[in-house]
A = this chain, B = another copy of it.
Amino acid sequence: MPDPTPIRRGPGRPPKRIDDRLETREALIRCGIEVLTEKGFTATGIDAVLKRIGVPKGSFYHYFESKEAFGLEVVDSYAAYFARKLDRWFLDDSRQPLARLAAFVDDAKAGMARHGFRRGCLIGNLGQEMSALPETYRDRLEAVFLDWQARLAKCLVLARTRGDIAAEADCERLAAYFWIGWEGAVLRARLMRSETALDIFAQGFIGGLPR
């Protein structure tokens, strides 16, 4: 549906609309998530983002200090979005712990299919691009991975106390293992344009858990 109150664009200060500034900023970030998730940071020009929102190029540096700063905000926003998603699945008391993981995987499969397997994982994309990225990104990206790891580890601990996995299992390490491999699965799923890689990895991981 088209925006019911289209934002006037032209030179000069725009008419007052309280949340206008935030709206534009956040629209840019939201669009940045989509585009960077698909094409990565280096291969994406800011024009591509701006065009899609209808913001003129000259305005970009009014909202963001640089492309680098923009990217960092996109990462933060994506991390927050993904953390919410993980909580939705990993804290879902209506499912057994390991079934929650499977449910997350199914959701991810559906998500990738919905976008024609063009979009991957933003953090993985940028991680792969690190050598062409400002060094600022490195710690931020790694921190996101560690956050995901912690959330999954909690879920695995639950499975362990239930006896679904071995009592001596190192849940933190298992969680690390999952995200390491998961990024590879997403990469491959995009290359093959099929859910197969996600399936193979997920089943391999769950099937290989210590019992």
Contacts and interface: CB of A to CB of B under 8 A. Distances in A.
Nearest to A183: B184
A163 interface: no
Interface residues of A, number: 44
A190 interface: yes
A43 B187 contact: no
A39 B187 contact: no
Contacts of A138: 191
Given A40-B132, A180-B181, A180-B184, 20 more contacts: A39-B131, A39-B132, A40-B131, A43-B132, A124-B184, A127-B187, A127-B190, A127-B191, A138-B191, A142-B192, A173-B204, A177-B201, A180-B197, A180-B201, A182-B184, A183-B184, A187-B187, A207-B208, A207-B210, A208-B208
Interface of A: 38-40, 42-43, 118, 120, 124-125, 127-132, 138, 141-142, 145, 173-174, 176-177, 179-185, 187-188, 190-192, 197, 200-201, 204-205, 207-210
A145 B185 CA distance: 13
Nearest to A145: B188
- Copy total for this chain: 2
5 contacts: A38-B131, A40-B132, A181-B204, A184-B184, A187-B187
Given A200-B173, A204-B208, A130 B191 contact: yes
B184 A141 contact: no
A125 B184 CA distance: 11
